[in-house]
Chains A and B, each alone.
Chain A
Amino acid sequence: MTINHHLDDATILAYAAGTLDPAISIVVASHIAWCPECRAEVRRAERLGGELVDGLDGELVSENCRERTFASLGTAALHRLPVKTAHPGREELPYPLQRLLGPRGLEALNWKKKVPGISIADIPVSGGKSVLKVMSLAPGIAMPVHGHRGEEITMILKGAYSDEMGRFARGDVADLDEDVEHKPVVEQGETCICLIAEEAPARFKSIFARLLQPYFGI
């Protein structure tokens, strides 16, 4: 897997600072699980955080807090080394998404066919303003031109599509500015599955509606 489309620096910084919505964090974590370059960038951005914490003036900590901490050391279980995937990037789903979905993966979801060739499943995530979903697009399908109102980030899990910005294939992310409009066309031969986080859309602005608009004229 060669990754050609990476995360925006602003997204990397927000992820390292921990200020992204849960749904968006899952897409970012999924991409960095497969992308060594962005992983290194996150590490770099985290160093800034360490530096900023070092520079803070301390706040007096109560004796009680100190005592409670020391009292719980004896019973705290030592952390074991995490299990690493043997071949990162070769598994079907990136680890953070797999962990969220459980062993049945994408099959566990409630898929809904929206129009011929397009199915969507919501992935429940609580907290934050953003929603998470996966979209399955049949080979060769052309999506209508649409913009991205609000924050939206897409990761390609399988297959590929092309649009004005280039070709997006497995592992790539489209971390686009709000004002970008595009018209993705899925490649022939393979279904394209995308993981999408977007700010909870206003009525008729959801990805459904945007996709359905040209079909149903809403």
Chain B
Amino acid sequence: MVENVGSSPSSGEREHLEHLLKQVAAKRDRECFAALFDYFAPRIKSFMMRKGVSAELAEDLVQETMVAVWTKAALYSAEKGTVSTWIFTIARNRRIDRARRESSAHFTDIDDFDAASDDPASDERLNRAQEDGYVARALAQIPAEQREILILSYVEDVPQSEIAARLKMPLGTVKSRMRLAYKRLKKLLEKVN
């Protein structure tokens, strides 16, 4: 289990990552891209390997994800979340596309139809909370059993029905723990704002 949720970047580091990505978008700056690569590539590789993917395939997915970061850099906007969140969604979509390569159903990128008018005030609030490391701290505060389910789901890609089988509990219990974890996190974050 990942227990080191506290090791997220400080707000200064987050700003730095955002600055790097903006330089990539504006100037195709390869040095800034290299710095992003050095920060994210090992994390993406680890993220992929925890899903049971081989080291070799994990590196292919690192390459695909980082090339997409390069080509899509101009699409990033801070209102949508931190750079880490944005890169997480790209990595997730690459992994799903890879798994569904023969499938007609590509994962739908929320950016494809996200309207700019989506409640920017609340978005900004959440984003600020994330930048200041509150999300990481809130994650550390929820009960371990709830955090475990979130990690199985997000990091290890285990479907809810399989989490239920693994933990030998009914699907309904897994779902209600998910809901509880999510509610708890939202509440912790609201308190901050």
Q: Is the CB of A55 within 8 A of B2?
A: yes
Q: Is the CB of B178 within 8 A of A100?
A: no
Q: Is the interface of A mostly helix, strand, loop or mixed?
A: helix
Residues of B within 8 A of A10 (CB): 160, 174-176, 178-179
A53 CA to B160 CA, complexed, in Å: 20
Q: Which of A9, A40, A55, A81 contacts B182 (CB 8 A)?
A: A9
Residues of B within 8 A of A68 (CB): 63
Interface residues of B in 60-102 (CB under 8 A from A): 62-63, 66-68, 70-72, 74-75, 80-82, 84-89, 91-93, 95-96, 99-100, 102
A66 within 8 A of B: yes
Q: Is the CB of B100 within 8 A of A61?
A: no
Residues of A within 8 A of B82 (CB): 47, 50
Name A126's closest neighbour in chain B (CB-CB). Answer: B103
Q: Which of A60, A69, A84, A125 contacts B104 (CB 8 A)?
A: A125
Indicate whether A59 sits within 8 Å of B42 (C-beta atoms), given known contacts A20-B159, A51-B84, A65-B63: yes
Interface residues of A in 18-59 (CB under 8 A from B): 18-23, 25-26, 29, 32-33, 36, 39-40, 42-59
- Complex interface bits, B143-161 against A, C-beta within 8 A gives 1, otherwise 0: 0000000110111011111
Indicate whether A49 sits within 8 Å of B88 (C-beta atoms), given known contacts A54-B136, A58-B43: yes
Residues of B within 8 A of A84 (CB): 113, 115
Q: Is the CB of B42 within 8 A of A60?
A: yes
Interface residues of A in 107-157 (CB under 8 A from B): 124-127, 151
Q: Which residues of A contact B (CB under 8 A)?
A: 8-10, 12-14, 16-23, 25-26, 29, 32-33, 36, 39-40, 42-62, 64-66, 68-70, 72-73, 76-79, 81-82, 84-85, 88, 95-96, 99-100, 124-127, 151, 177-179
Q: Which residues of B contact A (CB under 8 A)?
A: 2, 4-9, 30, 33-34, 37, 41-47, 49-50, 55, 58-59, 62-63, 66-68, 70-72, 74-75, 80-82, 84-89, 91-93, 95-96, 99-100, 102-105, 107-115, 117-119, 122-123, 126-127, 130, 135-136, 139, 150-151, 153-155, 157-161, 171-172, 174-176, 178-179, 182-183, 185-186
